[in-house]
Amino acid sequence: MEIGGKLEVIKSYGLQIAEIEPTVYKVLNTEQEINADKLKHDLMDAALLRSQRIRWNRENGVNTAIAKIYYIIFEPSKIDKYSRIAREGHADSTIDVCDFHEEVDSIDTLYRREEL
């Protein structure tokens, strides 16, 4: 998706943003509570710096997080810098990125040595 399309998506959520530098957008109306998971997936490869979840939204059996958004970042290398900046203004700021899980099945369980 081109940047113009991404900005349209952001606006459709009622978020007002200001470009801080290319690929980094600061949200101006940070009191707005929106569905962070939906926004994240609609933007596809964005990172959100957002509040910790305010509540869950359940729709068709899927739970998604409602939160306040502070920054939207499209360049992964800039996440750390702005995570630090976001924390200065918002103590509850967290990093939220799309976490696609591997397609392959894996057995994640762990064993204590004494079990074996």
Partner 1 sequence: MQGGKDTQIQKQTELVNTGNPRKNRSYLRAYYYTTISFELFGINSDIEVKVDTGSPYTVVGAQNRKLDAVLKEHLRTVGIDGRTAVEDASGNPIGLKPQVVQNFKLTDDIVFPKVKIYFSDSLKEKAILGMDILTLFDFKYHRDDKAIWIYYEENFLETLGKKMINKNLGYIDPGLIAAMDEFPSK
Binding residues vs partner 1 (CB under 8 A): 37, 41, 52-53, 55-56, 61-65, 79-80, 83-84, 87, 91-101, 107-113, 115-116
CA distance 12 to 4: 12
How would you classify residue 37: left for phi > 0, otherwise alpha for psi between -120 and 50, otherwise beta? alpha
Torsion of CA 70, 100, 39, 36, to 10 degrees: -50
**Cβ 86 vs Cβ 49: under 8 Å:** yes
